[in-house]
C-alpha cells in the first residue's frame, strides 16, 4: 500500500512540474495584430489606418487569365463595419493582378489615379500615413480596378 501511495505522489509531482514548465514557456498574447496581418492569398487587403493597421477589408480579385473588374468602395466595408470609401490609409496586394486605385470611383470627375500596383508583385503595399511622402492620398480612395493576367 505504501508503494502505491509513493507512486501516486511521484506521478502528481511530475505532472505539477510539467505543467509549470509549460506555463513558463508560454508567450504573452499580443494586444494588437502585426502590420498587414491576416491578408489571405489571392486577395487585396485595404486597411483603415496607416502601416497596415486598424480594421481591414478583404477584396478577392477576379480569376487570372485576362479578367478585369472595377470595385467601388462605397459598397465595401471594413471588418469593423465602417465603410471603406474614402477611409483607406494603407493596403497590401497578395495577388498577381495589376491594380489601379482611384479617388473618383464613379467617373463624375474623370477618375484620377491615386496609386498603382504592378502585375506579379505579390506582397506589394502602400502606406499613406502622415509620415509618408504621399500622405496627401490618405483617405481619398473610392474605387479600384483589377487587371489579372
Q: Please report, for the chain, the start and end positions of each structural domain, with discontinuous segments joined by +.
A: 44-148
> What pLDDT is attached to residue 108?
59
CA contacts within 13 A on the Cβ side of 51: 7
Question: With 0-12 CB in 10 A as exposed, 13-18 as middle and 19+ as buried, what is 72?
Answer: middle
Using 50, 70 and 90 to split pLDDT, how confident is the model at 10? very low
The conformation of residue 140, written as its DSSP 8-state character, comes to: -
- Measured CA to CA, the distance from residue 83 to residue 53 in angstroms comes to 16
Using 50, 70 and 90 to split pLDDT, how confident is the model at 40? very high
CA 103 to chain centroid = 21
Name the more confident of 75 and 24. Answer: 75
Residue 18 is placed in which grid cell? 510539467
Work out the number of other CB atoms within 10 angstroms of the CB of residue 34: 9
Superfamily of domain 44-148: Crystallins (2.60.20.10)
- Which among 103, 61, 111, 110 has a CA at the least distance from the CA of 86? 103
> Is there a contact between 39 and 45 (Cβ–Cβ < 8 Å)?
yes
Q: Is the pLDDT of residue 47 over 70?
A: yes
Q: What is the mean pLDDT of the chain?
A: 81
Rounded to an integer, the average pLDDT of 25-48 is 76
Residue 67 is placed in which grid cell? 479578367
Amino acid at each position: 500500500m505504501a508503494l502505491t501511495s509513493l507512486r501516486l505522489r511521484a506521478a502528481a509531482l511530475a505532472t505539477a512540474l510539467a505543467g509549470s514548465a509549460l506555463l513558463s514557456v508560454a508567450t504573452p498574447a499580443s494586444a494588437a495584430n502585426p502590420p498587414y496581418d491576416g491578408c489571405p492569398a489571392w486577395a487585396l487587403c485595404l486597411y483603415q489606418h496607416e502601416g497596415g493597421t486598424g480594421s481591414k477589408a478583404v477584396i478577392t480579385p477576379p480569376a487570372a487569365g485576362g479578367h478585369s473588374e472595377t470595385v467601388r468602395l462605397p459598397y465595401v466595408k471594413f471588418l469593423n463595419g465602417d465603410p471603406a470609401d474614402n477611409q483607406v490609409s494603407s493596403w497590401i496586394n497578395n495577388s498577381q493582378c495589376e491594380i489601379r486605385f482611384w479617388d473618383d470611383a464613379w467617373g463624375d470627375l474623370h477618375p484620377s489615379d491615386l496609386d498603382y500596383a504592378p502585375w506579379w508583385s505579390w506582397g506589394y503595399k502602400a502606406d499613406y500615413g502622415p509620415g509618408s511622402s504621399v500622405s496627401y492620398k490618405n483617405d481619398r480612395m473610392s474605387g479600384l480596378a483589377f487587371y489579372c493576367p
